[in-house]
Amino acid sequence: MVQNSKTKPDSPETVETNCPSAYTNTNQTTANSSRNKRIPAMKRFLHLNLGLLFLLGFSLAAPAEVLTIEPTTVTEWKAVYGEVEARERVPARARIGGTISELDTTEGEIVEAGQRLALVTDDKLAFRLEAVAAQLAALNARLDTAEADLKRGEELFKRGVITTQRLDQLRTEVDVLKGQIKSVEADRLVIQQQVNEGEVLSPEDGLVLSVPVSKGSVINPGEPIAVIGGGGMFLRLSVPERHATSLVEGDKIEIGATKTTKAQTGRLAKIYPQIIGGRVQADVEVPNLETRFVGRRILVRLPVGEHKALLVPAEALTMVGGVDFVSVKTGEKTVRRAVVPGVVMQKDGRKWREILSGLVAGDQVVIGDE
């Protein structure tokens, strides 16, 4: 036994095989115990963080808003199309017949009252002016001779050579020639005025809408050379006559947005009393109305009536399974009630929905309740 006790520690196999195994087992045990200690600590850390986030979320959540709904007066709108039109369409007409020798305007041009648009010439007027000029020259020559005869007759009358009757005849001849000259001069002025009236002038300030003639055309007196749109540009509406009694001058009109303009409001400026084809004509004044294209159609909404409605904010509605619900406070409880919503409208910068059924006046709607 003494040998065994001495040999056992000195055995190289025991040292090589047992010592490393014991060391490895010790390390594994230490690592497992450390890992087992860390896992509960991590769980506690995660639970603590989740709890803090949960409490923080509740502290940051906005408080629910409670709104007592009451009937509100809502304006009923009618969507129609309006056309950009000039209040007045005035034709610029030719005052004499003849040939258009000059055409100074074209469609889309802005013109002023009195501006020349075209020139109409008539060769016959030039011939008449030449004839009148020849008549004047002949009459003036005869007048010079008659005045010379009258001067000699007055000298002879002083000497007693001629009688008073002859002197009166000479004076009458001079007066007759002067009258004829005035008549011919008046004719010349008439012809000259006709020549001047060959200039076709714009009747007022406005936009040239159409020019139905061309240079060299032969026209008669009264035919239009151009059509001027004046009196300002408006939206011309054609409203069904059943809405005629609900239209009031001065009402605000909503104009839809286009590719180049934003949505804006206008004013109902004029309602025409005559009903044509079952429709009432009305003009809407719109600030900064784009007038590049006359006849352009723009969507317009007209106020045609009012009714009472129950309105709730759009965010108060939630949809579950295709059904809209609203949270309603009843006593201390909050319940969800199925409703039938209507149109969406803007009011005070907020979106509202009309409730057709499911709510009554006095209900307390809870907004932001999750």
User: How far from each other are the two terminal CA atoms of the chain, in whole angstroms?
Assistant: 84
Give residue 258's pLDDT band: very low, low, confident or very high (50, 70, 90): low
Confidence of residue 261 (pLDDT cuts 50, 70, 90): low
Question: Quick one: 95 and 38 in the same domain?
Answer: no
Last residue of one domain, picked from the residues 58, 76, 105:
58
Query: For 123-141, what is the mean pLDDT?
Result: 94
In contact, 235 and 84? CB cutoff 8 Å: yes
Write the DSSP assignment of 86-115 as a string of letters. EEEEEEEE-SS-EEEEEE---TT-EE-TT-
The overall average pLDDT reported for the chain is 82
Confidence of residue 29 (pLDDT cuts 50, 70, 90): very low
Q: SS3 of 1, please?
A: coil
Distance CA 238, CA 271 (A): 10
Amino acid of residue 88: E
Q: Is residue 285 part of a domain?
A: no
**Which of 156, 188, 209 marks a domain boundary?**
209
Specify if 366 maps to a domain: no
Q: With bands split at pLDDT 50, 70 and 90, how would you rate the model's confidence at 338?
A: very high
Please indicate, yes or no, whether residues 53 and 97 belong to a single structural domain of this protein.
no
Residues 100 and 49 in one domain: no
Report the alpha-carbon distance of residue 265 to residue 300 in Å, rounded.
9
> What band does 132 get if pLDDT is binned at 50, 70 and 90?
very high
Give yes or no: residues 101 and 146 share one domain: yes
Q: In a 10 Å sphere around its CB, with 0-12 CB exposed, 13-18 middle and 19+ buried, how is residue 256 labelled?
A: middle
Q: Look at residue 31 and tell me whether its pLDDT is greater than 60.
A: no
pLDDT beyond 70 at 57: no
Q: Which of 211, 209, 218, 213 is nearest to 96 (CA)?
A: 218
Where among 179, 209, 239 does a domain terminate? 209
Judgement on whether residues 131 and 187 belong to the same structural domain of the protein: yes
- Is 148 within the bounds of a domain? yes
- Segment 281-316, tens digit of pLDDT: 999 888 878 777 888 888 888 888 888 999 999 888
In a domain, residue 311? The reply is no
Same-domain check for residues 32 and 96: no
293 three-state secondary structure: coil
Domain membership of residue 158 (yes or no) is: yes
The DSSP 8-state label assigned to residue 208 in this structure reads E
Residue 362: strand, helix, or coil: coil
- What's the confidence (pLDDT) of residue 53? 45
- Mean pLDDT value across residues 143-160: 92
Structure tokens, 148: 């010379």
Q: Is 32 domain-assigned?
A: yes
Q: Are residues 38 and 95 in the same domain?
A: no
- Residue 6 belongs to some domain of the structure: yes
Distance CA 261, CA 291 (A): 12
Q: Are residues 6 and 50 in the same domain?
A: yes
Instruction: Using the structure block, give the residue that is written with the tokens 């007045």.
Output: 88
Task: Based on the fold, state whether residues 205 and 94 are members of the same structural domain.
Answer: yes
> CA dihedral in degrees (157, 160, 165, 168; nearest 10)?
10
pLDDT of 254 > 90? The answer is no
Could you tell me if 26 and 135 lie in one domain? no
Of 316, 321, 323, the C-alpha closest to 354 is 316
Q: What range does the domain containing 162 cover?
A: 90-209
More confident residue, 370 or 269: 269
Q: Are residues 105 and 186 in the same domain?
A: yes
What is the number of domains present in the chain? Answer: 2
205: Cβ contacts below 8 Å, ≥ 6 apart: 111, 112, 113, 230
pTM: 0.57
Q: Do 110 and 167 fall within a single domain?
A: yes
Residue 306 falls inside a structural domain: no
CA distances from 336 to 161, 181, 324, 325 (A): 135, 105, 10, 6
What is the pLDDT, as a whole number, of residue 17? 36
119-133, 194-208, 246-260, 343-357: which range is least confident on average? 246-260
